[in-house]
Amino acid sequence: MLSTEPLLQAQEISLRDRQRTLLQDIDLTVSANEIVTIIGPNGAGKSSLLNILLGLRKPTRGKVIRSPELTIGYMPQRLQLNPQMPLTVERFLSLTHHGTLHIEQALEKTGVQGLKKTSMHHLSGGETQRVLLSRALLRQPQLLVLDEPAQGVDITGQSQLYDLIAQLRSELKCGVLMVSHDLHIVMAATDRVICLNQHICCHGHPDKISNHPAYLEMFGHATGTNVAIYTHHHDHSHDVHGDVLDVNDKEGGYLHKKHQDQHHD
Amino acid sequence: MIEFLAPALIAGLGVAIIAAPLGSLIVWQRLVYFGDTLAHSSLLGVAFGLLLTINIQLAIVLSGIVIALLLVGWQNQKQLSTDTLLGILSHSSLALGLILVSVFDTGRVDLSTYLLGDLLSTTIADVVFIIGLGSIIGFTIWRYWHFLLFITVNESLAAVEGIQVNKIRLLLFLLLALTIAISIKMVGVLLITALLIIPAATARYLADSPEKMVLWSGILGCLSVIGGLTTSLLWDTPAGPSIVVCASSAFVCLLLFSAKVRAL
């Protein structure tokens, strides 16, 4: 079932803009059924990297290899819709280029089926993100690319959203590549973390990363007030049903995955 | 009376209908200043036509295309497209156009026709020109509407899904240039943007989908043309400005009405 061929592969990506190095020698792969999260501080080049991987921007050096006929479902960071443009959720979703899934189904998958006739301008932050996610699903993607999916969503909503993403991954067996600034909340739903600050500082399983000196140097001091919450998250994490999962185990992420698979069988 | 008025009415309605989808797109994409720049610089086209002694209408179309190409290239350099710079470009080209037209004019043109328009002197040839070019513009918009709407909603999303955003944007600017070229004789370079955006902005109060906004914008544009022409005949006011005042009156009415509805 799992293909070993990566869906997306970046080789030695570098980006320079007016004598300034924005990205340096980035190597990265995303395979099917895998969630890869890029984290990093503001100005680390997360969005530039995502744009290069999506083909929206050309790197100065290096190349991006996509598996042939790769379908990408993309969820932009913000929609920035002009209020002068009347647009319902349904009309917005009908703008897809190769829609194969029905709009109702897509909205149901993200739990916002009641919003079909609502104006896009009247959605809350969480609803907007779910509608954007529905839109990405309409293309039945092999790879979901999510730019700060939890932007403008409150803390409870955030973990629900990441749970939903993890659930969609196991349902659709697609690869997921996302950008986030907050490791604590994404942790349970991520297989691999890439810590970016112009170059890749460290990468690997979220448990390893959260103890990595490079990560602590980047986020440890800045999030000093969150240390208590941080430790808590490190001790254990909750699955979708609120059961405590042991993530101190090195196979913690795997355990989580196995649990979900059992549930869906 | 009818023979005298018919060409003006048909030309006016034709322009109002073509202006509806383009005006909506300009409002949605915040291209009002680009529209203004395109309109003002078409006076340079008039000067060119005089200099090369070619058909003025044709010269306006050609210069519009050239300026549209330049503006699209310019818009791609995102850090440059500020209000201030567009304002400078727009008014400098208007000033330069005014100088060049008065230098090259040998009594062939009346400058105020191009600045303020002269709908009542519309000829059958003008009507044919508007209907011919207008149908091409209308058909192209209809054919590419989905793409135009998609890049309006979100350019990166459209690009990821395989739409050639730069080509569609170029198409939009070319359509805009052509629309301005056919409307110049009617409302003049100073007021064209008003005719494009005011009915669209008014239609926003009445519509809950992009297509309905275009429809309402067309209806309001046509009503403004009829109202403006009537005013012009009854009180001998200039036709172009009368149409624009009709359009803005409708806007003010709906603005007040919607504020009242919201207060209830």
pLDDT digits (tens, 9 = 90+) for B98-154: 888 888 777 767 788 888 888 888 888 889 989 999 999 999 999 999 999 999 998
B76 vs A137 pLDDT, higher one:
A137
Say if the Cβ atoms of A54 and B156 lie within 8 Å: yes
Interatomic CA distance for residues B146 and B25, integer angstroms = 12
Band (pLDDT 50/70/90 cuts) for residue B57 is confident
Residues A121 and A162 in one domain: no
Q: What is the DSSP letter of A121?
A: G
In a domain, A2, yes or no: no
Residues A130 and A146 in one domain: no
Q: Is B259 exposed, middle or buried (0-12, 13-18, 19+ CB in 10 A)?
A: exposed
Residues A25 and A41 in one domain: yes
Residues A132 and A182 in one domain: no
Distances (CA, A) of A196 to A204, A215, B85, B116, B223: 12, 9, 36, 58, 58
B147 vs B51 pLDDT, higher one:
B147
Residues A29 and A131 in one domain: no
Interatomic CA distance for residues B10 and B20, integer angstroms = 16
In a domain, A173, yes or no: yes
Residues A166 and A108 in one domain: no
Count CB atoms within 10 A of the CB of residue A155.
Answer: 11
Into how many domains does chain A fold?
2
Is residue A250 scored above 60 in pLDDT?
no
Interface test mutation site (partner B, options A80, A87, A121, A145, max chain B beta carbons within 10 A): A87
Residues A221 and A254 in one domain: yes
For position A101, what pLDDT does the model report?
A: 64
Q: Go through chain B and tell me how many residues it has.
A: 264
Note the ipTM here.
Answer: 0.82
Domain boundary among A91, A106, A141: A141
Q: What is the mean pLDDT of residues A155-173?
A: 84
For position B252, what pLDDT does the model report?
A: 93
Residue-number span of the structural domain to which A117 is assigned: 81-141
Residues A92 and A160 in one domain: no
Which of A82, A98, A139 lies nearest to residue B28, judging by beta carbons?
A82
Percent of chain B scored above 90 by pLDDT? 39
In a domain, A1, yes or no: no
> Measured between CA atoms, how close is A255 to chain B, in angstroms?
34
In a domain, A3, yes or no: no
Interatomic CA distance for residues B23 and B148, integer angstroms = 13
Band (pLDDT 50/70/90 cuts) for residue A4 is low
Interface test mutation site (partner B, options A52, A66, A77, A97, max chain B beta carbons within 10 A): A97
**Architecture of domain B2-192 in this structure:** Orthogonal Bundle (1.10)
Q: pLDDT averaged over chain B?
A: 87
Weakest-pLDDT range from A210-214, B130-134, B180-184, B226-230: A210-214
CATH number at residue A41: 3.40.50.300
Say if the Cβ atoms of B160 and A82 lie within 8 Å: no
Nearest by Cα to B137 from B191, B212, B61, B59: B61
For position A265, what pLDDT does the model report?
A: 35
Domain boundary among A121, A141, A161: A141
Chain-centroid distance of CA A147 in Å reads: 6
Residues A62 and A87 in one domain: no
Query: For A101-141, what is each residue's pLDDT tens digit?
Result: 688 888 888 888 888 889 999 988 888 888 998 888 888 88
Residues A237 and A151 in one domain: yes
Is residue A251 scored above 50 in pLDDT?
no
In a domain, A75, yes or no: no
Say if the Cβ atoms of B160 and A56 lie within 8 Å: yes
Q: What is the mean pLDDT of residues B197-215?
A: 94
In a domain, A195, yes or no: yes
For position A232, what pLDDT does the model report?
A: 34
Nearest by Cα to B189 from B130, B250, B118: B118
In a domain, A26, yes or no: yes
